[in-house]
Amino acid sequence: MPELPEVETVRRGLQPAMEGARFAKVEARRPDLRRPLPTGFVKRLEGRTVTGLGRRAKYLLADLSSGDVLLMHLGMSGSFRVAQDDGAKTASKTPGHFHYPRAEDRAHDHIVFHMSSGARITFNDPRRFGLMLLVPRAELADHPLMKEIGPEPLGNEFDASLLAAACRGKKTSLKAALSDQKVVAGLGNIYVCEALYGAHLSPKRRASTIADRKGKPNERAERLVDAIKGVLQDAIKAGGSSLRDHRRTDGELGYFQHRFRVYDREGQPCVTPGCKGTVKRIVQGGRSTFFCPECQK
């Protein structure tokens, strides 16, 4: 599911249940997700306290009292639910006005954390593209999954200069460049489409055209950075987007999907004031791209 706004929403939902709490019991109901769980996964968690819960790109990072970091990725279909272990349900039932599963699919509840706080945190992931790893804190920055990741788009250091430098000389499309976690962290198919719409730039445009030959940003780069930051901030405020089975940790739906301007709107009129265009769907790198050919150049 999850792009940066959804992962950040999950982080905020898990934080009260995890931070300062100890893993009282951990259930790993299968030996692997996308990869095998690390050797001794359960034993390396049980008895440890979570000292902090952070996020980098689309990864959740739980700092443990052992010095390990529990690295978690939701893949395409991963989600967490928080409930109370005493059976009292805190997760409310959801109203059914958007795509959501007909019933909780417990068959895909792969990992359960029973916390000392009484919280029960369940990781569910039908497609098993998710990931859980344990990495010593000191090795995290150099870990293969972390070291190549580009700047956090909501960080102060992310600006037009940085984005232009990353796109300098790139022959690939803007869509592909922004989807590349090495260029900027945390964007995925939805928010790339929405950011490009916001900047009125075509997803087919060569990435290098937001920079001059020396890598200095032009006005397109400025617009793009503003659009990226804007759409991500708005989406986080809305609790992320809920498509198909994704929900927040409390079971509630995010609602940013109602504010998509182009994503999944093929054939609908462009919402740019004065634009007579129609949203088009094309395939880039094997994935759908939605954009308005009239006002995105």
Partner DNA sequence: ACTACTCCCTGCCAGC
Partner DNA sequence: TGCTGGCAGGGAGTAG
Active site residues: 2-3, 58, 287
Sequence letter at residue 88 = A
Stretch that binds DNA, among 36-44, 88-96, 111-119, 236-244 (CB under 7 A): 236-244
Site for DNA contains 288 (CB under 7 A): yes
Query: 189 vs 272, which CB is nearer to DNA?
Result: 189
Cα 31 from Cα 216, distance rounded (Å):
48
Query: 118 vs 215, which CB is nearer to DNA?
Result: 215
CB of 72 to DNA, least distance (A): 12
Cα 173 from Cα 284, distance rounded (Å):
9
# residues near DNA by CB under 7 A: 44
Query: 23 vs 263, which CB is nearer to DNA?
Result: 263
Site for DNA contains 176 (CB under 7 A): yes
Site for DNA contains 75 (CB under 7 A): yes
The single residue among 48, 81, 108, 120 that binds DNA, judged by CB under 7 A, is 108
Site for DNA contains 94 (CB under 7 A): no
CB of 150 to DNA, least distance (A): 11
Query: 102 vs 274, which CB is nearer to DNA?
Result: 102
Contact criterion met (CB below 8 Å) for 184 and 153? yes
According to DSSP, the residues that pair with 82 across neighbouring strands are 121
The single residue among 6, 63, 68, 194 that binds DNA, judged by CB under 7 A, is 6
Token pair for residue 189? 């198919």
Query: 3 vs 63, which CB is nearer to DNA?
Result: 3
Site for DNA contains 34 (CB under 7 A): yes
The single residue among 127, 258, 259, 276 that binds DNA, judged by CB under 7 A, is 127
Site for DNA contains 242 (CB under 7 A): yes
Site for DNA contains 287 (CB under 7 A): yes
Cα 271 from Cα 148, distance rounded (Å):
36
Q: By rule CB under 7 A, what string of x and - marks binding of each residue 192-231 to DNA?
A: ----------------------------------------
Site for DNA contains 189 (CB under 7 A): yes
Q: Give helix 219-237 / helix 160-167 axis angle, nearest 10°.
A: 110
Which stretches of the chain bind DNA, using CB under 7 A?
1-3, 6, 34, 57-58, 73, 75-77, 99, 101-102, 105, 107-108, 126-129, 145, 169-173, 176, 179, 181, 188-190, 240-246, 285-288
